[in-house]
Homo-oligomer: A and B are copies of this chain.
Amino acid sequence: MTRYVFQFEEGNGQDRKRLGGKGAGLAEMSRIGLPVPPGFTITTEACNQYQAEGRVPDGLMAEVWDHLARLESKLRSKLGDPDRPLLVSVRSGAPISMPGMMDTVLNLGLNPETTEGLGRQTGNRRFALDSYRRFIQMFGNVVMHMEHSEFEHILEDVKASSHITLDTELTESNLETVIARYKDLVEKRTGRAFPDNPKEQLEMAILAVFDSWRNPRAIVYRRLNKIPDDLGTAVNVQSMVFGNMGDTSATGVLFTRNPNTGEPGMYGEYLTNAQGEDVVAGIRTPKSIDQMAEEMPKTYQELVEVCRLLETHYHDMQDIEFTVQQETLYVLQTRSGKRTARAAVKIAVDMAEEGVVTKEEAIRRQDPAQVQRLLYRQIDPEAAVDLLAQGLPASPGAASGKVVFTADEAEARGQAGEAVILVRPETTPDDIHGIVAAQGVLTSRGGMTSHAAIVARGMGKPAVTGCEAVKISLQDETFQVDGRVIAKDTVVTIDGGTGRVMLGQVPTVEPELSEEFTKLLNWADKVRRLRVHANADTPEDAAKAREFGATGVGLCRTEHMFMGQDRLPVVQAMILAETLEERETALKELLPMQEGDFYGILKAMDGYPVTIRLLDPPLHEFLPDIQDTEAALRRAQEADNSREVERLEAVLRRARSLFEFNPMLGFRGVRLGIVYPEIYAMQARAIFQAQAALLKEGLHPEVEVMIPLVGIPAELSRMKDLVAEVNQAVADEAHVALPYKIGTMIEVPRAALVAGEIAEHAEFFSFGTNDLTQTTFGYSRDDAESKFLPTYLADKILKENPFMVLDRDGVGRLIQIAVQDGRTTRSELKVGICGEHGGDPASIAFCHQVGLNYVSCSPFRVPVARLAAAQAALE
């Protein structure tokens, strides 16, 4: 004969099919020795049999009574016994979780006699009456199918006539009235008295749970979630326990370790002679769990053992609720404990060192997004803030400073040591010098991948973007928000991790690479196959990246170097040159500056590869705005300044001739190198001269020259020849061999599609996934983020913003084609990624899967990339 009922400790924790999810969980906890309130599970087979036959299966109730008796003897109490009343909960539990779809009955076993008994036991008759009142209401609703609202009306009525507003103000007498009226209601509506016999209550409740399998919302839920209708539900009958049965009883919550710091040892609080609600309600002040060592030493020791058991079993820090009923400890619930980023790292490392988890598990357990937060300065969680507005959390970290409205002022005052926040409607490449010198950036327009956001993230600088509540008047040098006017020089604080903009200087917490974090990353380094490089345009960035564990610079952009205040006039002269000679004169002036740039970066990353990308942006980005120039020209004409007129006319002519309808798809990257080879030649010379100087100092510069935006093999082969020619010339001059690698960015779809041919000329590929995403989707990032992408994400047309998380189906497929074809041509081809995705954990996992050699990301993302690369390797 089939057995339908199992005590929790008899059950097989893996048998979710028969015991249901909850029943299997209770079995599991019982099995590992946790003191869960005892009880038993009626299997799904019983439910299915009941559904099939339309009646209670033969022998089921006999088995239930048998198991109830075992429960009673275990607990030395008895269902319906006025002196030691046993109370139970009855809950459904299907093999696949269907949250909220089926029903629960608590405190089953109460009737007038046992209620008085419970009152005596707990010394709290009001509590017992309230429990009885709630039981009638729940049982009436769930088992007897009455309207919940009808009970509520009675309760409201009694409160009103007693001039009471809160349930907690109900007196014992009020509650007796409520109970009497509830029972009358039940009899009136159902034609039968509310059952006082606890066994009758139990049988009715079990059948009600069986029936709930077929209630309409459960049926709809199963259809939506494709859950078979023939699974059935199990029924769990569990004893109720009470922490309010005198001074040997208690209730509390605790973490198995400190969730803020990660320090080992229990962390929590409890109340003696109290219910769980009392701890939460905060009416009485709970005691620290440490006090229990003295007050209830036996229970304390039991808890220590429970914590050990739990961590050993779940391999993680747990957050538990417990109750002590007359010296007996019960664990009511356990789950993984929430924790701070700092604690997460320490707990994982400690547990690995304690042998509770393996190092691999310690690595796997980290949430990279959470860990990332460790690397940014944060608002002190204790601080009071005056919130001005909420924008997009564009680049994490917190910063305070005086509001300024131009990049030039930000630069001047920032370099003078003042803390300033640059506030702009949006930023452009012209503003970079200001962003560099500011503590952080706030813009009223632009999305998470606007220029300001990208540049700031690249620099690890806090930014809040798209903060539309902020109305900027550049003319008045003020911004308004909700009618408050914030003038220049007012101190504000921004939190780029949450998007908050706050008035005044808000205290912040310093970032740290803790000892445990360093240890964890070192373990990660042993596991990962992907190398981690950094995107760095300055020696400072390169040094920071190295400190964070980068073993190379995967992308050194040379255009930011052109933007410096000392360079820009020379760069503009080069662009305005009307002959090759004029251009070469300007380039000669730039050469020593560029050489210095490369010298510094190669030195900071000495011994590791540095991938230097030759000039990429369209030349018009270095010229002043056309409309501004027109205005300046009008002024010069009015002032009769003929020399200035002539100069401005030349600028305008050139700017107009360089104007582009779609600069993103325009005259940039290698296209510049083909039309103006002298520019790339100058840059190559600067690189090799820097390399020669370092070699002579006995250092080990590893040079990689990267040609951007290649889409045609011939583009690369031409530039490869040009670079080789310059290399030879510099080597001859310096009398030293200057080894280097040449490669290209793959950032337009065609490059991926003809990668097999490109690899004939390239020693490495670097996927520029920012641009590759734009061209593959046909999106202009700035336009898309402010126009239609928000709708796409809200409507789930896209699951993720493809500029944040690499699009595997489209962009990813191109990457796979390029890797495969490229390696077919050149098996030792080195392949990496240097778009923003290089710092995104999900994208890093993809890079690992498709066999890239490295990822390159901003210095502040290097630690997380090391971790994510290890996690990917452990998948």
A residues sitting closer than 8 Å to B (CB atoms) are 660-667, 671, 674-675, 709, 711-712, 714-715, 718, 747-750, 753-754, 757, 771, 774-780, 782-784, 787-788, 791-792, 795-798, 807, 809-811, 813-814
A714 to chain B: closest residue by CB = B797
Return the chain B residue nearest A662 by Cβ.
B780
The residue in chain B whose Cβ has the minimal distance to the Cβ of A756 is B809
Cβ–Cβ contact B776 & A748, under 8 A:
yes
| A468 shortest CB reach to chain B, Å | 12
Q: Are B674 and A753 in contact (CB under 8 A)?
A: no
Query: Are A776 and B798 in contact, CB atoms less than 8 angstroms apart?
Result: no
Q: Quick check: A775 and B749 within 8 Å, CB to CB?
A: yes
Cross-interface CB contact of A662 among B663, B711, B715, cutoff 8 Å? B663
Name which residue of chain B comes closest to A807, CB basis: B750
Give the copy number.
2
Contact A712–B753 (Cβ < 8 Å):
no
**At the interface, is chain A mostly helix, strand, loop or mixed?**
helix
Q: With the chains together, A783 CA to B619 CA distance in Å?
A: 13
Contact A674 B750 (CB under 8 A): no
Q: Which residues of chain B are near A660, meaning CB under 8 Å?
A: 780, 783, 787
* A671–B810 CB distance below 8 A: no
Complexed CA–CA distance, A778 and B757 (Å): 18
Please give me the 5 A-B residue pairs with the lowest Cβ-Cβ distance, nearest first.
A748-B778, A662-B780, A750-B810, A665-B780, A667-B787
Known: A748-B776, A753-B776, A754-B813. 18 other contacts (CB 8 A): A661-B782, A662-B662, A662-B665, A662-B783, A664-B665, A665-B779, A666-B783, A666-B784, A674-B795, A711-B776, A714-B797, A718-B795, A749-B810, A750-B776, A750-B811, A753-B810, A754-B809, A775-B776
Contacts of A747 in B (CB 8 A): 778
A775-B778, A778-B747, A778-B775 known; A674-B783 Cβ under 8 A: no
CA–CA, A809 to B792, complex, Å? 32
A88 to B757, CA, bound (A): 53
Asked if A777 contacts B797 (CB within 8 A), the reply is no
**Measured CA separation A712–B757 after assembly (Å):** 29
Complex alpha-carbon distance, A748 and B802, angstroms:
15
A666 to chain B: which residues have CB within 8 Å? 780, 783-784, 787
Chain B neighbourhood of A792, CB < 8 A: 674, 712
Least Cβ–Cβ distance between A256 and chain B, in angstroms: 43
Q: In chain B, what residue has the closest Cβ to A771?
A: B778
Q: Which chain B residues lie closer than 8 Å to A667 at the CB level? A: 783-784, 787-788
A-B contact pairs, 13 of them (CB 8 A): A661-B780, A661-B782, A661-B783, A662-B662, A662-B664, A665-B783, A674-B797, A712-B798, A714-B797, A749-B776, A750-B811, A753-B776, A753-B810
Taking CB atoms, residues of chain B closer than 8 Å to A787 are 660, 666-667, 671, 675
Do B663 and A665 have beta carbons less than 8 Å apart? no
Give chain B residues whose Cβ lies under 8 Å from the Cβ of A779.
665
Q: How far is the CA of A341 from the CA of B280 in the complex (A)?
A: 93
- Greatest chain B CB density within 10 A among A675, A750, A777, A782 is at A750
CB pair A715 B797 closer than 8 Å: yes
Smallest Cβ distance from A696 to chain B, in angstroms?
A: 37
Question: Could you tell me the distance between the alpha carbons of A669 and B700 in the complex, rounded to whole angstroms?
Answer: 53
Residues from chain B with a CB closer than 8 A to the CB of A671 are 787-788
Which residues from B are CB-within-8-Å of A784?
665-667
From residue A232, how far is it (CB to closest CB) to chain B in Å? 35
Do A814 and B782 form a contact, CB below 8 Å, given A661-B664, A664-B661, A665-B662?
no
Cβ–Cβ < 8 Å partners of A778 in chain B: 665, 709, 711, 747-750, 771, 775
The smallest C-beta distance from A446 to any residue of chain B, in angstroms, reads 11
Residues of B within 8 A of A662 (CB): 662-665, 780, 782-783
> A663-B661, A667-B787, A791-B675 given as contacts; is B711 within 8 A of A777 (CB)?
yes
A453 to chain B minimum Cβ distance, whole angstroms, is 15
A629 CB, nearest partner CB in chain B, Å: 14
User: Using Cβ atoms and an 8 Å threshold, which residues of chain B touch A797?
Assistant: 674, 712, 714-715, 718
A660 to chain B, nearest CB (A): 4
- Which residues of chain B have C-beta atoms less than 8 A from A788's C-beta? 667, 671, 674-675
Q: For the complex, give the distance between the alpha carbons of A160 and B152 in Å.
A: 131
Residues of chain B within 8 A (CB-CB) of A811 are 750
Chain B nearest Cβ from A850, distance in angstroms: 14
Contact: B674 with A791, CB < 8 Å? yes
Contact A796 B714 (CB under 8 A): yes
Shortest distance from the beta carbon of A746 to any chain B beta carbon, whole Å: 11
Measured between alpha carbons, how far is A663 from B718 in the docked complex, in Å? 32
- A814 CB to closest chain B CB, in angstroms? 7
For the complex, give the distance between the alpha carbons of A782 and B667 in Å.
Answer: 11
* Distance, CA A803 to CA B153, complexed state (A): 76
CB-defined contacts of A712 to chain B, threshold 8 Å: 792, 797-798
Residues of B contacting A749 with CB < 8 Å?
A: 749, 775-776, 778, 810, 814
- In the docked arrangement, what's the CA distance between A714 and B796, Å? 9
Most buried by B among A662, A714, A747, A774: A662
Report Cα–Cα, A718/B788, bound state, in Å: 15
In the complex the two chains form, what is the Cα distance from A797 to B663 in whole Å? 21
Residues of B within 8 A of A715 (CB): 797
Q: Which of A748, A771, A787 has the most CB of B within 10 A?
A: A787
Q: Which residues of B contact A782 (CB under 8 A)?
A: 661-662
List the B side residues contacting A665 at CB < 8 Å.
Answer: 662, 664-665, 774-775, 778-780, 783-784
Alpha-carbon separation in the docked complex, A98 to B662 (Å): 48
Q: Which B residues are CB-close (under 8 A) to A709?
A: 778
- What is the minimal beta-carbon distance from A161 to any residue of chain B, in angstroms? 49
Residues of B within 8 A of A754 (CB): 809-810, 813
CA distance A785 to B749 in the complex (A): 20
With both chains docked as a complex, state the minimum distance between the C-beta of A614 and any C-beta of chain B, in angstroms.
16
What's the nearest-Cβ distance from chain B to residue A173, in Å?
A: 58
Assembly CA distance A792 to B714 (angstroms): 10
- Per the bound structure, the CA–CA distance linking A718 and B771 in Å amounts to 27
List chain B residues, Cβ under 8 A from A750: 776-778, 807, 809-811
CA distance A840 to B770 in the complex (A): 34
Q: When chains A and B are docked, how far (Å) is the Cα of A715 from the Cα of B778?
A: 14
Given contacts A663-B661, A665-B662, A797-B674, contact A813 B780 (CB under 8 A): no
Chain B residues within 8 Å of A714, by CB: 796-798
In the complex, what distance in Å separates the CA atom of A439 from the CA atom of B797?
46
Closest B residue to A790 by beta carbon equals: B675
User: A418 to B663, alpha carbons, bound, how many Å?
Assistant: 40
Nearest Cβ on chain B to A674's Cβ, whole angstroms: 6
CA distance A794 to B675 in the complex (A): 11
Q: Given the complex, which residues of B lie within 8 Å of A674, measured CB to CB? A: 788, 791-792, 795, 797
Bound: A465/B779 CA distance, A: 29
Q: In whole Å, how far is A620's beta carbon from the nearest beta carbon of chain B? A: 11
Chain B residues whose C-beta falls within 8 Å of the C-beta of A810 in the assembled complex: 711, 749-750, 753-754
Residue of B whose beta carbon sits closest to that of A718: B797
CA distance A753 to B787 in the complex (A): 24
Q: Which residues does chain B contribute within 8 Å of A771, judged by CB atoms?
A: 778
A192 vs B548: C-alpha distance when bound (angstroms): 88
Chain B CB within 10 Å, residue with most, of A665, A715, A807, A809: A665
Nearest to A796 among chain B residues (CB) is: B714
* Interchain CA distance A727-B847 in the complex, whole Å: 45
- Alpha-carbon distance between A788 and B675 when the two chains are bound, in angstroms: 7
Least CB distance, A346 to chain B, in whole angstroms: 42
> How far, in whole Å, are A792 and B783 apart by their CA atoms in the complex?
29
Distance in angstroms from A804 CB to nearest chain B CB is: 16
- Contact flag A753-B814 (CB < 8 Å), given A674-B791, A748-B777, A778-B711: yes
In the complex, which residue of chain B has the Cβ closest to the Cβ of A664?
B662
Shortest CB–CB separation between residue A178 and chain B, in angstroms? Answer: 50
Instruction: A778 to B665: give the CA distance in the assembly, Å.
Output: 5
- The CA of A401 and the CA of B328, in the complex, are separated in Å by 105
A210 to chain B, nearest CB (A): 39
Residues of B within 8 A of A783 (CB): 660-663, 665-667
